Amino acid sequence: MTRFFRAIVLVAFLGAALAGPQDNSLVVGASQEPVVLGDLLNVLGSQAIASEVEIYLYAGLYRVNLDGALEPDLVTEVATVENGRVVITGTPEEGQRAEISLTLRDDIAWSDGQPITTADVAFTFEMTRAPGFPQTTDFYDRRMVEVQDDRNFTVIVEPAQSSDFVGSPLDGPLPEHIMGAGWDALQQATAGLDPETAAAQFVDAYREFFSDLGSSAAINEGRTVYSGPFMPTRWTPGSALQMTRNPEFHNHPDDQDAYVQTVEYRFITDTNALQFSVVTGAVDVTGSVSITFDQALSPQLRARAADRYDIWFIPSPVWEHLDINQFSNVQQVADNQLDDIRTRQAIIHAIDRQAMSEALFDGLQPVSHSNTSPFDPIYNPDVPQYEYDPERSMELLAELGWTRGGDGILQRTTADGRNVRFELEYVTTAGNAVRERQQQFIAEDLRQVGIDVRINNAPSNVVFSSDFINRAYDGAWTGMFMFAWVSSQGASLNAQTYLCESAPRPENNYSGQNAGGACSPRYDELRNQAVVELDLAASLPIYQEMQAVFAEELLAIPLIFRSNPIVVSQGVVNYVTSTFNRGYGYPPYRPELLGWAQNGATQELDQSAYASQLED
């Protein structure tokens, strides 16, 4: 036995001894680690593992339940037209205005005991209005907040969009009494800067502010506070994050001592090592960013499952795809003609996605043809589809001037007389075994048509940092980036990710989630028509045409939609998720209800209603 293997066994043994019902704790295994926590405004970009962990730490105005419906969280009730809390005026042609009246509960507090009030709501909103503040969507551009008193406020949305009524009216809130002084100091320090000419300085200042408050050091020093059912007590980077029950949370079960008191995330970035930890009992449950689908199918895991844990497969809106750098100012993009639709068509025709799904996932992860989940109400099943056709791929490449060189790799002469080879950078998250196998599969298919693939992987906290994923314009990555978008019903209706204006560039402070810089004026036009029609039946044909345009123009290369596996130790109750739970499918739905049956916790939620298990 190697020293490394002995170390894994020892860690697994200690984890198994310390976790579970004995001390009323729960250990969650994850294959990624957050960069920061508490960046609820996504200043540093979106990271799935951070969003999952934040479910334990922060309460929202609303939450999305297991059936995709809205429920009140920090507010007394969900605002609707029927209860008089939503008033809509105007027409879709003129632009509609929605006034959403909300009341905060009178029993909500931050983890230090300070009440959560409309001052926190207003403070969080005003952050988004600061000069040079990097926003990834137009969400806050269309909003105003009017405060009536400590508990009552109105969110004014103009123009109102269809997505405004399937999620929370605002993000957050964040604690003004903790963050206010530092925020004021930041504003004073940047007061003399012009947002137009000093965009990078503004971005760096805001990112430093949120990075500092959400860092492991800030958490270990107790420098911030939380509104959710748990609060972090210790974060050991590269290892684990421990959270304990927040005594100030407003919605714990009455007999909360019978429920889990401590939750620990263990970060095991090598998914093979994580699978080993599951098998040996070092972790009690897995999250959405954890073992891979094929590992959940593995004989090693299933053989141990019968009397120890359940393996669930949840249909998810998680979309694996290839973003393509289409910023033609980048030399490699221009040389490889990645901004030409024919190149992207050649790439997708060269990849046998169905064979990849069958080889890696037993065909259980369906090939995707657009970026909209098959479980979304607006899904269009009739979009253009690109079948595996390497001959067509080579025809398209020949049209673009590529010919085979002596080594089998494509080459061409550029307009300025340079000879270039088709060498394509390919980035994904290092240590994710299934992604790396997908990568090898795709790379080999591309080499068959003459595209030389240069793999350039790095850990998730590197590739998903804003200095990397959002800097394709500067050539931080120059070819293909394989990652997943975790959609929601609100996100699919807002549909802003792949707008031209959502491409991160210097002029927008490198904000936006259109990482590769795809741009389709037709897609933008349709999206802007769809979002102002608040009647979903009327807007559905427009949304479906958008999906057809996305697929036809290949704003990104669709690969598959996931079914997410989660492993749950038998005896754990209420560790449950669904396709659109919390809007994104992250477990668990209600962290405050997590517990062990043998300690007296009551099962209130049933995973079998929202997922399936493989039969032996």
What residue numbers bound the domain in which 191 lies?
A: 68-210
Q: Which residues on adjacent β-strands are paired with residue 454?
A: 425
pLDDT of residue 19: 56
Is 443 within 8 Å of 46 (Cβ atoms)?
no
Does 243 reside within a domain? no
Does 117 reside within a domain? yes
Quickly list H helices, 465-565. Answer: 466-469, 489-494, 521-530, 536-553
Structure pTM? 0.75
The domain total for the chain is 1
Exposed, middle or buried by CB within 10 Å (0-12, 13-18, 19+), for 386? buried
> 410-413 and 419-421 as β-strands: parallel, antiparallel, unpaired?
antiparallel
DSSP for residue 256:
G
pLDDT in tens, 567-578: 999 999 999 999
Is 259 within 8 Å of 248 (Cβ atoms)?
no
Does 334 reside within a domain? no
pLDDT of residue 616: 55
Is 145 within 8 Å of 170 (Cβ atoms)?
yes
Q: Find, among 422, 446, 424, the residue nearest to 351 by Cα.
A: 446
pLDDT of residue 579: 85
Does 58 reside within a domain? no
pLDDT of residue 186: 95
CA distance 354 to 387: 9
Does 141 reside within a domain? yes
CA distance 104 to 155: 13
Exposed, middle or buried by CB within 10 Å (0-12, 13-18, 19+), for 400? middle
CA distance 135 to 508: 9
Is 356 within 8 Å of 438 (Cβ atoms)?
yes
Identify the CATH number of the domain in which residue 130 sits: 3.90.76.10
Does 47 reside within a domain? no
Quickly list H helices, 319-369. Answer: 331-336, 341-350, 353-361
CA distance 250 to 73: 9
pLDDT of residue 4: 36
Does 265 reside within a domain? no
Does 157 reside within a domain? yes
* Residue stretches of the chain with pLDDT short of 50: 1-18
What distance separates the 2 farthest-apart alpha carbons in the chain? 76
